[in-house]
Amino acid sequence: MKTEITNPFITGGYLSPEYFCDRAEETKRITDAISSRRNLTLISLRRMGKTGLLKHVKFQLEHSKKPFAVIYTDLLPTLNGNEMLNTISSALYRVRKSEKNFLEKMLGFMASLRPSLTMDPLTGEPSIELKVESSSGIQSGLEQILRLISDIKQDIVFMFDEFQQIGKYPEKNIEPMLRSVIQTYPVIPFIFSGSSKHMLENMFMSPGRPFYQSSELMYLDRIGTDDYRIFIKENFRQGKMIIDDESIDKIFNWTRLHTYYIQYVCNHLYEKGGNKIGERQVNSIFHEIITDFEPQYISYRNLLPPHQFRLVKAIAVQDGVMQPTSGEFIRKNDLTSPSSVSTSLKALAEKEMIVYDLNRWNVYDVFFSRWLEYHYKE
């Protein structure tokens, strides 16, 4: 059912399976874990497709013969335990709002937390806001939410997207609290997801941490080239456009096969139109994209300390570096010493400007990387 939108390459959110490429095995692995009531944690680089995959699984579960109630929450915008509770309660309300008297029941149940129903002024989506004064308020809020849920006569699954965010809250006891409340409801599977590999691995794999071994870890990799090629060709074909294999390979290379960037390039190519897409059209889209983003990249250049900028530039120009502390790399790029490179590497990784992936350091934002390469490669 692709009638209502014209461009099949979406670059934000999830629409329906028609716009979603592959991920069949990954979808099965997650739905299997859910039906066996196992917890699972999905980890990948930014913009590889975790949220899309969770929404795809949600879609399948909601449209199955025995539909699940899927409570999906994105914790990225939340800054403390109170906001986390608001997000979870709002997600629960959105899933159950068609049930008779659910709102009254929910407000009654949570009365001690002074709940109120508000409407998002931009999206019109309803949300619940609570006023929590102490950490015991957060604990009782969580317990009340789970008690409300256990009354639901339907299979339930919780999805916590950007779960590492809880590690940044000022309250230090959210992690053990969440763990102990969750543990009381072993019949509800929890799916966690996030891009901070380091934080999530620490949370789930360090003995002594509350969530230790409470969830299986799943690393989301790139979509396979065969599946992506078919998806791209078929979508262009339906728009009466033909794209050749060399052009698709070129896109795969240039985007490092990173989902968001492939979608973005294809979206723009599709928008340009034309019956045949070849090298010339692809090169011109690459150029257009990096030019569009240029003001942002110039501001990165102004904001980064000079040594860090030299390092980012050098990494991009080489299209990834295995040993940035090697003497040759340092000399060639005027990077002073191994210790200053180590310091800058650490700072840039913390800012998510660079990332270690496929055995090398890369500039995280692929378009920024290509812009640097284009401007600074000799």
With binding defined as CB under 5 A, does residue 51 bind Mg ion? yes
User: Residues 24-63: x/- map of binding to ligand ATP (CB under 6 A)?
Assistant: --------------------x-xxxxxxx-----------
Residue 94 interacts, among ligand ATP, Mg ion, none and using kind-specific CB cut-offs from 5 to 8 Å, with none
Question: How wide is the angle at C-alpha 340 spanned by C-alphas 329 and 355, nearest 5°?
Answer: 70
User: Residues 249-268: x/- map of binding to ligand ATP (CB under 6 A)?
Assistant: ----------xx--x-----
118's enclosing H/E stretch is strand 116-119
Question: Binders of ligand ATP: how many residues, by CB under 6 A?
Answer: 21
Dist. CA 156–CA 149, nearest whole Å: 8
- Closer Cβ to Mg ion, 220 or 289, answer by number: 220
- Closer Cβ to Mg ion, 50 or 96, answer by number: 50
Dist. CA 9–CA 234, nearest whole Å: 11
- Closer Cβ to ligand ATP, 147 or 237, answer by number: 237
- Closer Cβ to ligand ATP, 243 or 311, answer by number: 243
User: Residues 206-225: x/- map of binding to ligand ATP (CB under 6 A)?
Assistant: -----------------x--
Q: Which residue has the tokens 């870890």?
A: 217
Q: Please tell me whether residue 41 adopts helix, strand or coil conformation.
A: strand
Taking the complex as a whole, how short is the minimal distance between the CB of residue 376 and ligand ATP, in angstroms?
26
Q: Please tell me whether residue 192 adopts helix, strand or coil conformation.
A: strand
Sign of torsion over alpha carbons 291, 296, 300, 302: positive
With binding defined as CB under 5 A, does residue 263 bind Mg ion? no
With binding defined as CB under 6 A, does residue 204 bind ligand ATP? no
Whole-angstrom CA distances from 266 to 11, 229, 236, 282, 327 are 10, 11, 9, 9, 40
Residue 21 interacts, among Mg ion, ligand ATP, none and using kind-specific CB cut-offs from 5 to 8 Å, with ligand ATP
Question: CB under 8 Å to 373, separation ≥6 — which residues?
Answer: 316, 317, 319
Contacts by residues 244-253 (CB-CB < 8 Å, ≥ 24 positions apart):
244/276, 244/277, 244/278, 246/278, 246/279, 247/277, 247/278, 247/279, 247/281, 247/282, 250/279, 250/282, 251/282, 252/225, 252/228
- Closer Cβ to Mg ion, 51 or 308, answer by number: 51
Taking the complex as a whole, how short is the minimal distance between the CB of residue 192 and ligand ATP, in angstroms?
13
Q: Which residues bind Mg ion (CB under 5 A)?
A: 50-51
Positions in the binding site for ligand ATP (CB under 6 A): 10-13, 20-23, 44, 46-52, 195, 223, 259-260, 263
